[in-house]
Amino acid sequence: MLIRGLVIGVALAALSVTSASATMRISEDRGGQIGQYLQAFASVRSSGESVVVDGNCLSACTLVLGLVPRERICATDRARFGFHAAWMPDRDGRPVTSPLGTQALWSIYPASVRRWINQHGGLSRKMIFMQGNQLTGIVASCDRQPRYQTRSARRLTPHTVRYESASASGEGH
């Protein structure tokens, strides 16, 4: 909890509050550096914007689930969240699991997401995916919420991330 409070506090202090004018639409976001997503989603939270997840939200993108209030997030039937342990490149550029980064992710996710992750093998080098009926009780369906009919949309810039693929059942691809 201490890590979460410090990280969120620093991100919020660096941002100015703006009025809600658009809905962020996430459709193909492969993640990136945790700090960039902390800032982006803290800004969304402060602005009052809503978020529509309409495709892949992988890696650091999944921080949206802990940083934006639940009532301002919805998922379409195409939404898919992908979780894995945080990593950093070693001296040769190879990915090495980062216990501190992984703990930061873990502390930001809501309890319902942490339970789902634990039920599906935990955070590891392998990507696990949450989609379809698995989203029930975690993210509202956009189909049932007409307020998510967007007039304008703001998108996060997709980033490249390296990870090992796995289905939620743990079978590799």
Mean pLDDT by runs of 10 across the 173 residues of the chain is 46 38 88 94 95 97 97 96 95 94 96 97 96 95 63 43 36 36
Q: Please report the pLDDT score of residue 29 as a whole number.
A: 96
Q: Please report the pLDDT score of residue 57 as a whole number.
A: 98
Task: Tell me the backbone φ, ψ of residue 8, rounded to 5 degrees.
Answer: -65, -40
Domain boundaries, the chain: 22-154
What is the C-alpha end-to-end distance of the chain, expressed in Å? 34
Q: Please report the pLDDT score of residue 2 as a whole number.
A: 46
